[in-house]
Structure 1
Amino acid sequence: MAMRTVLPQNVALRRSVRDFAGVLQQALCAHQADDLETAERLYREVLDLRAAQPDALHYLGVLCHQQGRSDEGVELIRTALKITPRHPDAHNNLGNIHKECGRPAEAEACYRHALACAPDHHNAQGNLAVVLEVQERLDEAFEAYGALLAQAPDDARGHYLMGLFLRNHAQSMEHLEQSAECFRRAFAVDPRSLRALEALGVTLYALKRHDEARQVYRDWLAREPDNPVPRHMLAACGGAEAPSRADDAYVRELFDGFADSFDEQLLKNLDYRAPQVLAAALGEVLRPADGTLDVLDAGCGTGLCAPLVRAHARNLVGVDLSGGMVEKARLRGGYDDLEVAELTSYLQAHPDAYDLVLSADTLVYFGRLEDVLAAAHAALRPDGWLGFTLEAMEGGTADLEITPSGRYRHARRYVEDVLASRGFRDVRIQGDTLRREAGHAVAGWVVLAQRPSDALAS
C-alpha cells in the first residue's frame, strides 16, 4: 500500500484551499520536459486539491499511456470527457491512445468526436485520415488528407502525409510525381522536416530521376556535413561508394527520428507483414508454445514481434540500436527486458544465452552478414533456432546490393554460404512478400537456421 505523507493540520488546511492552477501549470511544464515522474506527482496533487479536475485527468491519462499504462490512461481521459464532453484535444488524445494500441475503429470514433467539437482541429483531421488508411478505406482517407490540406495549406505534416499516401498506393507514375511535389512542399513549409527531404530523394529515384535524387542528398549534406542520413542515402543512390553495412549513426538517427510515427507508417504499407511471416515460419520448427524458451528479438524496433512470440518465451528480451524505438517497445509491452545496443556487439556479449533469436527487417541494414551471423550462432544454445528476414536479390552474380531505400538486398546463394560457414545447419529459405513500397511488392527471404547440438557439430 502506498504511503502518504501526513502534513501538520494547519499546513494541510492551507494546501486544501490553495489555488490548484499553479500546481497544474508546474505539472504541464514537467510533462513537456519529459520529467514524467514529477509530472505524475503534480497531476495527482492537483486532483487532491480539486477532485475530478478535468485537465489533470486528461493529461494524467496521456502520461499513463506514455508509461505503458494505456488502459488506465483511457479511463482517466474518459472520466475527463464526462466532465467536459466537448473538449477536442481530449477526444484527439484518446484517439491517439487507441491508434497506438492498434484499435483504429475506436480511434476513428474519437477523432470524429474531436472534429464535431472543433471542425478545424488539424491534428484530429490528419489522424482521422491515417486511421481510415489503416482500415484500407482509401477513398475516404484521400478525401480526409485533402480536407486537411484545404484547412491548413501551410501544414508541413499534412503535405508529408499526403505524399506518403500517394507513394504507398501509387498506381501510376503520375501518383509518384504528385507524391514528390507533396514532399517538396512539406520541406518548403518546414525546412526542419528532414524526413520529407529523405522521402523526396527516394521518390525521385523511384521516378528514375536519379540525378535529381542525388542532388537532393548532396544539397542536404552540404548544409549538414556531419549528418549520417544524407551521406548514406547518397551512397544508396550511387552518388558515393556504398558502405559494407549501414553506419550505426545512420541507423540511430533514422529510427530515433522515425520512432513516433514508425508503426503508423508501417501500418500504412498495408501489406507489411515481415513479423507475421517470420513468426509463422518459426511456428513450423519450434515445439508447441509452452513458455520455456529464452528469446531475443534482435532489432526489436517498436515491438511488433513481441505478441507473436510471447507464448514461446520464458524470458523475452528486445534489443535495438535506437533508443527512441526501444521506448516505443517499452510502451507496447510484452518484453521482460529491453536494451539499447548495437546488435552484433550485444550478441557477442551473450554467448549461449538464447534458444531463439529472431530478427524481422533488421538485417536489411547489414550489407555483409558474416560477423552478425557468427555472433548469432555464438549467442544461441545448441539446437537453438535463428530466424530473420531479408530483401531478396534475384539474378546476377553479386552477393548483395544497396538500394535507393537505403536498405540492402541479398542473394540467396550468399545467405546460404554464410550460414553454412558460420556453423548453422538445417537452413531453410523461402521467398515471400514482406511489404509494399511505392505501389510495388518488395520481395524478401524468410530464413531459418539451427545451431546444431555440440555432438552433431563435432
Structure 2
Amino acid sequence: MQAHQADELATAERLYREVLDLRVAQPDALHYLGVLCHQDGRSDEGVALIRTALRITPRHPDAHNNLGNIHKECGRLREAEACYRRALECDPRHHNALSNLAVVLEAQQRPLEAFAVFEKLLEAAPRFAQGYYLLGLFLRNNAQGVEHVEQSVGCFRQAYALEPRFVQALEALSVSLYTLDRQDEAAQVYRDWLEREPDNPVPRHMLAACGGAAAPVRADDDYVRDTFDSFAESFDEQLLKNLDYRAPEVLAAALAAVLPAPAASLDILDAGCGTGLCAPLLRPHARRLVGVDLSGGMVKKARLRGGYDALEVAELTAYLQQHRQAWDVVLSADTLVYFGELGPVAAAAHAALRPGGWLAFSLEAEEGDDDRATLSSSGRYCHTRRHALHALGQAGFGDIRIAGDSLRKECGQPVRSWVVMARREA
C-alpha cells in the first residue's frame, strides 16, 4: 500500500500478487489490486478483482465506493450510483460515498436528488471541506438565480476555512464573486493568495482575469499546467456531465463534413487532448492519432482512456513548430481559449499541416466587430470573429469557416462559442 500511495504501481502490483500467492482470497489485496488495475488502464480487470473481494467481505463500504469510482470514471453512471448506494447501506455516514453519489446524480441531471444527498453529506461530515466545495460547484453550475451563486460563495468560504491549503476553493470563490459583479472582492482574494504564495501562477493569472492586473497575451504555461493537473481526476465529470460540454462532438461533426469517409487513412493531432475525450470520435479517420497536452495529469488520464497511438506532454505552439507538414488534421477542442493573440499558434498550425489539411478548433465568443481578444473572469480568453479571421488569414489559411454555437454552460447559462474550420491550401 505504501508503494501504491507513492504511485509506484509496478512495485505495488508485484507485492499485492505476492500476498495473493500466499492467500488467494485475501480481500484487501484483491480490493486494492483492483483499484491499481483501473489506474493502469485495465478497468475491466479492476472491476472483476473488487467484485471478488466483495464476495468475500460483502459489507465493505470502501470497496463498494471504489468500485463505484471505476464505473463513474468509465462513464457507467447508473452502475456507479448502485455501488455508492450499497456503500451507504453498509455505512450511512460514509462521506466519500455520499459526495460521489451526489456527483453522479447531478451528472444524470437529477439535481433535486443530488442536493438532498449534499445535505446528508454535510450533516454527516460537517467539517468535510471537499463537501462544501462540491456543493458550491453544484449551486453555481445549476444556478436558477443570483441567490444560488451567493450561496456558492458561502460554501467556498467554508471549504477554505476548514482546509486552508484548499486553493481550488479560493479560485472557485473568486469566480463566483466576479460573477456577482463583486470584482473588488474577487481581486482581493487573489491578492491575499499571492501574498502567501508569491510564486504561484494561478492567483497571478486569475488576478489579471478579474481586472486586478494587466492581462498577459496568453496564459502562462505554469498556470495551465497547475490548473489542469489539479483538475485531472474530476475533469470529465465536471465538464461533460455538469457543464454540458459538447466541443468534441461538434468539432468532430464539422470535420466529418469536409473529410472523406472514415478509412483510417489520416494523420491526426489532438492538440490539447486533455483526458482524451476526442479520441473515439477521431479514431475512425486516423491512420495515426497523437495527443499532446501541457498537463501531465491530463495525459495520464488520456492514456487510461486509450485510443491514441502516442501521447506527448508538451507546449502546443512549440510542438507544432517541431512537426512541420506532419498532419492531415489538427483539432483543438477548448484549448485555444488559453491563448489571447492567436497569430503565433495559427502560424504554427499552418506549418504543421500538409497541403489540403484542416485545422478545427473552438473559441469562446467575444461580442463586437473589431479585432480583439479579452481575458475573462474565468481565466479563459474570448475572441471576436474578426480576430480569428485575421489570425488565420495572416497565417495563410483559406476556406475559413466560423459558426456560432454553445459548447458548454457556466453558472447554468450557455456560453457563446465559435466553431472554427480552416484549410491549408495546396
**Residues 1:59 and 2:17 are matched in the alignment:** no
Which of 66, 84, 91 pairs up with 1:111?
84
**Other-structure match for 1:275:** 248
Q: CA deviation at 1:205?
A: 0.4
Query: What's the offset of the Cα at 1:262?
Result: 0.9
SS at match of 1:260: coil
- The Cα shift of 1:435 comes to 0.6
Give the counterpart of 1:222 among 185, 195, 206. Answer: 195
CA deviation profile, 1:325-372 (whole Å, cap 9, x unmatched): 110111111111111000000000011111111000000000001111
The answer as to whether partners of 1:256 and 1:323 remain within 8 angstroms in 2 is yes
Contact 1:136–1:270 (CA<8 Å) still a contact in 2?
A: no
172, 177, 199: which is aligned to 2:150? Answer: 177
- Kept in 1, the 8 Å contact 2:371–2:385? The answer is no
In the alignment, what sits opposite 1:297?
Answer: 270
Residue 357 of structure 1 aligns with which residue?
A: 330
- Tell me how far 1:397 sits from its aligned partner: 2.9
Q: Say whether 1:75 aligns with 2:15.
A: no
Question: Shift in Å at residue 167 of structure 1?
Answer: 0.2
Residue identity matched to 1:142: F
User: What letter matches 1:100 in structure 2?
Assistant: E
Hey, what does 1:383 align to over in structure 2? 356
1:268 Cα deviation from its structure 2 partner: 3.8
Question: 8 Å contact 2:330–2:353 — kept in the other structure?
Answer: yes
TM-score (norm 1): 0.92
Which letter maps to 1:86?
A: R
Unpaired runs of 5+ residues, structure 2, are none
Distance 2:406 2:240 in 1: 15
Give yes or no for contact 1:134–1:270 (8 Å, CA) kept in 2. no
Change (3 A) 1:250 1:270: closer
Q: Which residue does the alignment assign to 1:366?
A: 339
Whether contact under 8 Å (2:359, 2:422) holds in the other structure is: yes
Equivalent residue letter for 2:214: E
**Cα distance 1:186–1:268, how it changes in 2: closer, same or farther (>3 A)?**
farther
Query: 1:152-194: per-residue Cα shift (whole Å, max 9, x none)?
Result: 1110000000000000011111111000100000000001110
| Deviation beyond 2 Å, 4+ runs, structure 1 | 267-270
Aligned-residue offset at 1:396: 5.4
Query: Quick one: distance in 2 between partners of 1:279 and 1:192?
Result: 39
How big is each residue's C-alpha offset from its partner over 1:273-300, in whole Å with a ceiling of 9 and x where there is no partner? 1111111111111111111111110000
**What does residue range 35-434 of structure 1 map to in structure 2 within 5 Å?**
35-395=8-368, 397-434=370-407
Whole-Å Cα distance in 2 between the matches of residues 268 and 226 of structure 1? 33
Alignment partner, residue 4 of structure 2: 31
TM-score of the pair, normalised by structure 2: 0.99
Native 8 Å contact 1:168 1:268 kept in 2? no
Matches of 1:279 and 1:396, distance apart in 2: 28
Cα distance in 2, alignment partners of residues 146 and 164 from structure 1:
14
Conserved in 1, the CA contact under 8 Å of 2:81 and 2:104?
A: yes
* Letter paired with 1:237: C
Q: CA deviation at 1:232?
A: 0.5
Structure 2: how far apart are the matches of 1:257 and 1:400? 26
Alpha carbons 1:104, 1:135 under 8 Å: kept: yes
Q: Aligned-pair distance for 1:445? A: 0.3
Rounded to whole Å, the distance in 2 between the matches of 1:396 and 1:374 is: 23
Is the Cα–Cα contact under 8 Å of residues 271 and 331 in structure 2 kept in the other structure? yes
Question: How many residues are aligned here?
Answer: 426
Indicate the residue corresponding to 1:24 in structure 2: none
Contact (CA 8 Å) 2:240, 2:246: kept in 1 or not? no
Answer yes or no: is the 8 Å Cα contact 2:408–2:414 preserved in 1: yes
Is the 1:300–1:359 Cα contact (8 Å) retained in structure 2? yes
Q: CA deviation at 1:440?
A: 1.4
Q: Distance in 2 between matches of 1:309 and 1:345?
A: 23
Secondary structure of the residue that 2:400 maps to in structure 1?
strand
Is the contact between residue 269 and residue 435 of structure 1 (CA under 8 Å) also seen in structure 2? no
Displacement, 1:417?
A: 1.3
Q: Which has the larger radius of gyration?
A: 1
Once the two structures are superposed, residues 74-106 of structure 1 have per-residue CA deviations (whole angstroms, 9 ceiling, x without a partner) of 111111111111111111000000000011000
Q: Is the 8 A contact 2:330 2:349 kept in 1?
A: yes
Deviation at 1:398?
4.6
Partner letter of residue 261 of structure 2?
P
Assess if the C-alpha contact under 8 Å between 2:106 and 2:242 holds in 1.
Answer: no
